[in-house]
Amino acid sequence: MTVAAGHGKKAARHIDAWLQGTTHALAPKHAPATLERINPWYYSDAPYTVRPQLDLARRTSSFDEVQGGLTEDNALFEARRCLSCGNCFECDNCYGVCPDNAVIKLGLGKGFEFNLDYCKGCGVCVAECPCGAIDMVAEDV
């Protein structure tokens, strides 16, 4: 599902650029969010959703779907699970924990900006980011 959504987003951006007579420049990719970068405290363990399957006799004697779908409750539960490792989903944790007020909210869907003139480099925002979307980068002096 996430691959299909990503490809649709990519296609839409290229189509929009083509209609405007320009080309779409790809944004630089961030590093994959490893387990060390993710803050698991924010996530609860969830059991694997087992989908029903037809027994072998019915599989060979009918054209029914072998793999069953999710119930409405299961589908809603799965839809609420986080699928944004490494991508900011605007949880506001960095904004709330910054002791220097260096994090600026840009508005819904626009993410955050960091005012490096106020930032002291404490790293609290990085430690509290649940999905590993913030990188601490050493400043060239």
- pLDDT (mean) for 24-53: 79
Number of structural domains in the chain:
3
Confidence check: pLDDT of 8 > 90? yes
Give, as one character, the DSSP assignment of residue 29: P
Residue 83 confidence (pLDDT): 63
The whole-model pTM stands at: 0.59
Give the pLDDT confidence score for residue 135 in this predicted structure. 86
Mean pLDDT (the chain, rounded)? 86
Same domain, 24 and 53: no
- 36 and 90 in a single domain? The answer is yes
The answer on pLDDT for 62 being more than 90 is no
Q: In Å, how far from its chain's centre is CA 131?
A: 7
pLDDT grade, residue 20 (50/70/90)?
Answer: very high
State which residues form the domain around 18: 1-30
Write the CB contacts of 86 (distance below 8 Å, at least 6 apart in sequence): 30, 31, 32, 33, 37, 131, 132, 133
Contacts of residues 117-121 at CB distance under 8 Å and 24 or more positions apart, as own/partner, are none
Confirm if 5 and 86 have CB atoms less than 8 A apart: no
Give the closest residue to 101 by CA, choosing from 123, 125, 119: 119
Burial class of residue 54 (count of CB atoms within 10 Å of its CB; 0-12, 13-18, 19+): middle
Q: State whether 61 and 100 are in the same domain.
A: no
Q: Kindly tell me if the per-residue pLDDT of 34 is higher than 90.
A: no
Q: Are the C-beta atoms of 84 and 131 separated by less than 8 Å?
A: yes
Handedness of CA 58, 62, 68, 72 (dihedral sign): negative
- The pLDDT value recorded for residue 84 is 67
Q: Are residues 129 and 103 in the same domain?
A: yes
**Tokens in use for 126?**
């990085």
pLDDT band at 82 (very low <50, low <70, confident <90, very high): low
The CATH number of residue 141's host domain is 3.30.70.20
pLDDT 10s digits, 91-116? 999 999 999 999 999 999 888 999 99
140 and 94 part of one domain:
yes
Do 14 and 35 have their domain in common? no
